[in-house]
């Protein structure tokens, strides 16, 4: 089972900055609406992530298994940054599998496929433990354009279309915050819908 264990990016490290949204909605010259803009911005980031299946915020995840696997194991997160394989030995102590005993590679969708190499021999695991094998995954795009996405690893660069979709959706919610019905507040601009369709990862 894939589960979130930590969100690396705090509010100040959003992939889309409050300053960008303020410029987008022409709110640069006042701060009264900043708390509300932050709420809409966080909600828009999470909305775009959910609709596209992209991991927009830097975060750590874990897959628990009761046994070792053969062949290729696929991790359905996009994009994957790093993978660490741990296990509970027969005594229940946490051990780390040496990185030179397995290999992980990104697929065309930015997800990960993990396979053990020939030198790996399956250590004994703690009996009857659902989490005897623990695969920890770091995922998410760079939050700062000056990080690796600037050239070292272009696949980790935050997608410009995702940035635009977040800004359009947050701005729409902000401009319609006095709408009379909750339904109107959930409307997504057609242009943003088109961007979400282009970004969506189909698994």
Range of the domain at 22: 12-56+145-199
- Tell me which residue has tokens 């999470």: 46
Can you name the residues that pair with 137 across neighbouring β-strands? 61, 83
Instruction: Summarize pLDDT for 21-43 with one digit per residue, the tens.
Output: 999 999 999 999 999 999 999 99
161-164-169 Cα angle (round to 5):
125
Residue 95 lies in a domain: yes
Where do we find the tokens 């961007």? 195
Residues 52, 149, single domain; the answer is: yes
- To the question of pTM greater than 0.85 for the whole model, the response is no
Q: Are residues 100 and 163 in the same domain?
A: no
Tell me the per-residue pLDDT of 58-99, one tens digit each, with 9 for 90 and over: 889 999 999 999 999 999 899 999 999 999 999 999 999 999
Nearest-CA neighbor of 154 among 142, 143, 137? 142
CB 170 within 8 A of CB 44: yes
């Amino acid at each position: 089972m894939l589960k979130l264990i930590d969100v690396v990016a705090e509010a100040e490290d959003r992939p889309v900055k409050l300053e960008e949204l303020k410029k987008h909605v022409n709110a640069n010259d006042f701060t009264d609406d900043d708390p509300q803009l932050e709420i809409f911005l966080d909600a828009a980031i999470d909305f775009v992530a959910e609709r596209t299946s992209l991991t927009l915020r830097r975060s750590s995840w874990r897959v628990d298994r009761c046994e070792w696997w053969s062949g290729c194991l696929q991790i359905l997160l996009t994009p994957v940054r790093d993978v660490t394989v741990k296990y509970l030995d027969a005594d229940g102590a946490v051990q780390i599998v040496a990185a030179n005993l397995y290999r992980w590679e990104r697929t065309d969708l930015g997800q990960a496929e993990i396979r053990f190499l020939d030198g790996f021999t399956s250590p004994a695991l703690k009996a009857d433990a659902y989490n005897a094998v623990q695969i920890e995954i770091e995922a998410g795009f760079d939050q700062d354009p000056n990080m690796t996405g600037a050239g070292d690893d272009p696949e980790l660069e935050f997608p410009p279309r995702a940035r635009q979709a977040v800004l359009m959706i947050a701005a729409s919610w902000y401009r319609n915050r006095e709408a009379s019905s909750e339904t109107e507040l959930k409307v997504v601009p057609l242009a943003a819908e088109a961007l979400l369709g282009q970004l969506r990862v189909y698994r």
